[in-house]
Amino acid sequence: MAFSEHLLITAITLSVAFSFVLYAYVKRKINTSAFIGTLALGVIILLTFGLEFGYAGLLALLTFFLVGNWVTRYKYDKKAELGVAEGNKGMRGIPNVLGNGLAPLIFAVLYAVSRESYYSTLFLLGFSGAVATACADTFSTEIGEAEGNPRLITTFKKVPVGTNGGISLPGLGAAVLGSFLISIVCLAFVSAGDKAPIRSIFFSVCLISGFFGCIADSIFGATIEDKPFYKKRLQTFLHAKSVTKNATPASQFRLNKHGVNILSTLSGGLCAVVLGYSFGVQMV
């Protein structure tokens, strides 16, 4: 693709993305911090991917932004009655931006550092897998909480709707759908001139990684989300008796859902990198 064509597509994608983000801000679907954070994330993604892949990265993030906001409204009143709906009528803040955008940003930066090397393709896959995970998890949560009868992923015992680590068949199906949508969009990273098997493998790796990352999110939710962690973790490991049940709040912290989102999107991205390396995916 010629430089002028890259420039035109990037300009169009950037304009459309900004328009949708501005609309979401005006309609109070995101607050001011999320508005600024989303714009900053988009600019950094554009700079790290450059003209060649900048539009593809923005398109993937824009797709997640749009469908993520849409699916949040799915049976919102029912979820509100159950006490599991997003607060502030689904309005997103900067923690949501960081929770879902930090891992893709990391892979984008790694791509920029390794550009034109063998590993650059793997980091494109990492970015795609991370975004697919974010979308899969959002779909799984929003649809699963409205439709499912969850079971805890670690024990498969029935748990109340909204329990950390709960999974259901509708939620798992929604996760596949969310990952599928992003996987389709991320084919924009693969040029039309690349061989068909590369496109198929790229899509499959992204799809699998998104679903894997969503499962990882459930496991993290069941095991470490909102559980107390102590600052002196090494001391706890070596001298368990030195940490008592009466530990003060200042000596511990809890990993919230946004922290778990970062871990799960990183997991999905790393899964994509590993699978891409195993299959020998190479585009540059």
Cβ(68)–Cβ(7) below 8 Å? no
Q: What is the mean pLDDT of residues 131-158?
A: 94
**Residue 57 pLDDT greater than 70, yes or no:** yes
Packing angle of the helix pair 32-72, 119-147 (nearest 10 deg): 60
What are the φ/ψ torsions at residue 228 (nearest 5 degrees)? -70, 135
pLDDT of residue 234: 43
What ranges do the domains of the chain cover? 3-279
Weakest-pLDDT range from 48-52, 121-125, 265-269, 278-282 = 278-282
Cβ(271)–Cβ(126) below 8 Å? no
**Residue 80 pLDDT greater than 80, yes or no:** yes
Cβ(258)–Cβ(99) below 8 Å? yes
75-109 burial code (b ≥16 CB/10 A, e <16): eeeebeeeebbbeeebbbbbbbbbbbbbbbbbbbb
Q: What is the mean pLDDT of residues 91-99?
A: 89
pLDDT of residue 192: 56
Q: What are the Cα distances from residue 61, in Å, to 1, 196, 219, 244, 253?
A: 22, 25, 25, 45, 31
Joined together, the tokens standing for residue 89 give 């009528």
Weakest-pLDDT range from 7-11, 79-83, 141-145, 244-248 = 244-248
**Residue 92 pLDDT greater than 80, yes or no:** yes
| SS3 state at 101 | helix
Instruction: Report the C-alpha gap between 217 and 260 in whole angstroms.
Output: 6
pLDDT of residue 148: 78
pLDDT of residue 249: 52
**Residue 207 pLDDT greater than 80, yes or no:** yes
**Residue 283 pLDDT greater than 90, yes or no:** no
Instruction: Report the C-alpha gap between 227 and 85 in whole angstroms.
Output: 21
**Residue 151 pLDDT greater than 50, yes or no:** yes
- Residue 127 confidence class, pLDDT cut points 50, 70, 90: very high
Cβ(101)–Cβ(44) below 8 Å? no
pLDDT of residue 91: 77
Share of the chain above pLDDT 70, in %: 86
- Residue 243 confidence class, pLDDT cut points 50, 70, 90: very low
